[in-house]
Chain A
């Protein structure tokens, strides 16, 4: 009954009171004309009350005339009456329509893309390639052919091993599986040599198979063969092996830069303004009036906050916060010692970003010279110890006499 009740409510119904002598006849004619009547209750000898759908009620007049029944409406119920009450409120109706249009739009278009599983390929790169294949914020989700997009992504991005594209509501989930590192690509049964990846001075060779080509103290350049996979000795003869192991070498990383002794520095004056910008999809709504930069000389810090709606199909709301700080230029001067200190700090930081995790730093060399231009040229060199060996496969030639590694 609940389900039909809902339909009755949508369609609208009235509770009527019918008075007459021939109420049974009235009911019979109503049913024969297929008028919807329900919840009949007798209220005395000549009276009954009943619920009637709005459409049926409009056709009741001839029946009443034939059976001499007087019908009165006791109450009205349902959506049509509700709408009639709000008919004058035009903006409420416009708002309601806007809500429905928005719902319809957002449920059929991409409102968010979530990329996960990637570590080497950046999310931006993936999003850029996805956009080229038609997966972009605001695009329709209906025409999305995930197998075609997958094929295209696989051909575009070499590092992809697999990519899965799932549409859930209006959010697209992109699962990425990356190819394994290429260094691990050489199989154990494939003949290979160890080759230097960097210039350096050999510190120790820990080869577990293969012919050593270098000894501690030797200097090597990038690409030099360190341990050869081609072996030739008296007991076993000439053969190809899979050379592997570690070759540690002293490597040098160096950076140099000039630092002026008298310079201009931007200093905050203490005055600042904060501006907010709303962003939905690719549309931005600035929440401030003037579009000019607030100060003649200023620095700006930007931060963005994402507000995700609880409903999957609605787009996230981004609030961008900009803090503009007014600045003035002040001339400063420093002693060579001070300049050296800042230089070492700055260059050290940059150098530590260049070396990989398992590299051991042996020593740090700092040298500086005063130039004629009034600047201090500082060079920071890190001497490190690291494994520079990389396995490179060798194809055994058909003819015995080609020796590519010697």
Chain B
């Protein structure tokens, strides 16, 4: 089980940078925004005070110092101080506060 996961991960890491997937190539060719076609997360930051996450899947953890969000292809972890969810809807997450780190992690 553990091995297979590791192998999958390795394959992904090897495959991705070398050969883009069909969808990626299609998005490039058709000039469509990739986050729609590939169903990936789109992160927009305004300094370190505001941040929007579009096309996310769900909230995994929410405290005032750390927010973890389920998204494709990887979960997003935002750490900082006094983090607030200013607005949440199905597609959009609007975070304010003092953001110190944004990272991708396996959920």
Q: Name A's B-contacting residues (CB within 8 A).
A: 23-24, 27-28, 30-32, 34, 36-42, 45, 48
Contact = CB atoms under 8 A, between A and B. Distances in A.
Contact of B88 (A23, A31, A41, A45): A31
Contact of B59 (A28, A34, A39): A28
Contacts of B86: 38-40
Interface string B47-64: 000000000001111111
A36 B89 CA distance: 7
B84 interface: yes
A86 B31 CA distance: 56
A31 B89 contact: yes
Contacts of A41: 64, 84
A374 to B, nearest CB: 102
Given A32-B90, A34-B89, A34-B90, A39 B60 contact: no
A23 B67 CA distance: 13
A36 B92 CA distance: 12
Contacts of A30: 88
Counting from the closest, the 8 A-B pairs by CB-CB distance are A40-B85, A42-B64, A28-B58, A38-B87, A24-B59, A41-B84, A27-B59, A31-B88
A49 to B, nearest CB: 10
Given A24-B59, A27-B59, A28-B59, A38 B88 contact: yes
Contact of A27 (B62, B63, B83, B84): B62
Contact of B62 (A32, A36, A38, A42): A42
B59 A37 contact: no
Contact of B63 (A36, A37, A38, A42): A42
Q: In this complex, which of B83, B85, B90 has the most chain A Cβ atoms within 10 angstroms of its Cβ?
A: B85
Contacts of A27: 59, 62, 85, 88
A42 B59 CA distance: 14
A38 B60 CA distance: 18
Contact of B90 (A23, A24, A31, A42): A31
A206 to B, nearest CB: 89
Contact of A24 (B62, B64, B83, B84): B62
A42 B84 CA distance: 7
Q: In this complex, which of B61, B83, B88 has the most chain A Cβ atoms within 10 angstroms of its Cβ?
A: B88
B60 A24 contact: yes
A30 B64 CA distance: 20
A52 to B, nearest CB: 11
12 contacts: A23-B62, A27-B62, A27-B88, A28-B58, A30-B88, A31-B89, A34-B89, A40-B84, A40-B85, A40-B86, A40-B88, A41-B84
Nearest to B57: A28
A45 B60 CA distance: 14
Contacts of A45: 63
Contacts of B58: 24, 28, 31
A121 B62 CA distance: 80
Contacts of A24: 58-62
Nearest to A38: B87
Contacts of B62: 23-24, 27, 40, 42, 48
Q: In this complex, which of A39, A40, A45 has the most chain B Cβ atoms within 10 angstroms of its Cβ?
A: A40
B101 to A, nearest CB: 18
A88 B23 CA distance: 63
Contact of A39 (B84, B89, B90): B84
A58 B89 CA distance: 18
Given A34-B90, A45-B63, 17 more contacts: A23-B62, A24-B59, A24-B60, A27-B85, A27-B88, A28-B58, A28-B59, A31-B89, A31-B90, A38-B85, A39-B86, A40-B62, A41-B84, A42-B62, A42-B64, A42-B84, A48-B62
